[in-house]
């Protein structure tokens, strides 16, 4: 239990959730040292909100529409200048906690910082194939950072320089297992196809095939995913299939639209 006499760093941790009762507790326990925790829940039907309220009274319900808009809304609820953005399948390590605490105490000289992530498939840490360090911009000044609010998936982040990089990791339990990875691939390619349809993107089958093969070869050979064995092979195939499935669903949408 935290010592109430110890002043917590002025940091708002913002967590986005959707039916995460199995993983949320460990996520919030890893950031209980922060001054504020904000949870924005996308209409969960399980105990996600109930578990969140054990750690904070700032639990808000909002239906996900567009990812960038949803996340910007969540960050806008933070009371502190500095925000750490997490998902429920992520954990802050003790080493990262110490690094962030020291940084905020000393006075940051950047608008935001990338943080490396250890990505796991089940309990296996995928070290190769571009899966590590897989750094993302997660610690930032609230008034300097914003996501694109149009893209259905993988929105672009906007923040003026300067930016820095932290050394210690977030633990990211990316996929529970291969079935979970396939389910996420299905959901994300649905959104990618919708984005292409909205943009009326010009995409040809030969270009898609080239990108499908290129993604596989880069992940498995150039980025040494083969060193992760069966997991590395699965992730490389998964990376290639993202392009192919997105195209197939996009083609189907255009055909149905006439």
- 7 pLDDT band, cuts 50/70/90, is confident
Q: Is residue 171 domain-shared with residue 186, that is, in the same domain?
A: no
* Phi, psi angle pair for 37, to nearest 5°: -120, 130
Residue where a domain stops, chosen among 138, 160, 175: 175
- 122 pLDDT band, cuts 50/70/90, is very high
Task: Assess if residue 157 is contained within a domain.
Answer: yes
What is the 8-class DSSP label of residue 225?
G
| Two structure tokens written together for 113 | 């910082």
For residue 80, is pLDDT > 80?
A: yes
Q: Is residue 142 domain-shared with residue 168, that is, in the same domain?
A: yes
pTM over 0.95: no
**Residue-range definition of the domain harbouring residue 205:** 178-256
Task: Assess if residue 41 is contained within a domain.
Answer: yes
Q: Tell me what pLDDT residue 152 has.
A: 87
What is the 8-class DSSP label of residue 248?
H
Residues 6+ away with beta carbon under 8 Å from 135: 114, 115, 116, 117, 165
Mean pLDDT to the nearest integer, 68-88: 98
For residue 228, is pLDDT > 50?
A: yes
Residue where a domain stops, chosen among 175, 202, 224: 175
Mean pLDDT to the nearest integer, 57-78: 97
Mean pLDDT to the nearest integer, 81-94: 98
Q: Is residue 147 domain-shared with residue 202, that is, in the same domain?
A: no
Buried (b) or exposed (e) across 54-93, using 16+ Cβ within 10 A?
A: ebbebbeeeeeebbbbbbbbbbebbebebbbbbbbbbbbe
Mean pLDDT to the nearest integer, 200-211: 94
Whole-number average pLDDT of the chain = 96
Q: Is residue 152 domain-shared with residue 210, that is, in the same domain?
A: no
């Amino acid at each position: 239990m935290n010592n109430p006499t110890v002043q917590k760093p002025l940091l708002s941790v913002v967590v986005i959730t959707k039916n995460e009762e199995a993983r949320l507790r460990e996520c919030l326990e890893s950031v209980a040292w922060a001054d504020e925790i904000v949870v924005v829940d996308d209409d969960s039907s399980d105990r996600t909100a109930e578990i969140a309220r054990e750690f904070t009274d700032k639990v808000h319900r909002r239906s996900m529409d567009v990812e960038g808009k949803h996340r910007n809304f969540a960050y806008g609820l933070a009371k502190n200048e500095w925000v750490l953005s997490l998902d429920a399948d992520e954990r802050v390590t003790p080493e990262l906690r110490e690094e962030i605490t020291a940084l905020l105490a000393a006075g940051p000289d950047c608008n935001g910082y990338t943080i490396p992530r250890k990505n796991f498939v089940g309990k296996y840490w995928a070290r190769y194939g571009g899966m590590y360090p897989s750094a993302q911009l997660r610690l930032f000044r609230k008034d300097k950072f914003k996501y694109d609010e149009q893209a259905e998936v993988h929105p672009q982040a906007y923040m003026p320089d300067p930016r820095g990089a932290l050394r210690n990791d977030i633990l990211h339990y990316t996929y529970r297992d291969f079935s979970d990875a396939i389910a996420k691939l299905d959901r994300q390619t649905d959104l990618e196809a919708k984005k292409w349809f909205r943009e009326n993107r010009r995409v040809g089958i030969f270009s898609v095939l080239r990108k499908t093969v290129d993604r596989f070869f880069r992940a498995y050979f150039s980025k040494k995913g083969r060193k992760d064995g069966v997991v590395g092979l699965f992730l490389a195939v998964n990376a290639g299939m993202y392009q192919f499935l997105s195209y197939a669903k996009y083609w189907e949408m255009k055909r149905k639209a006439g």
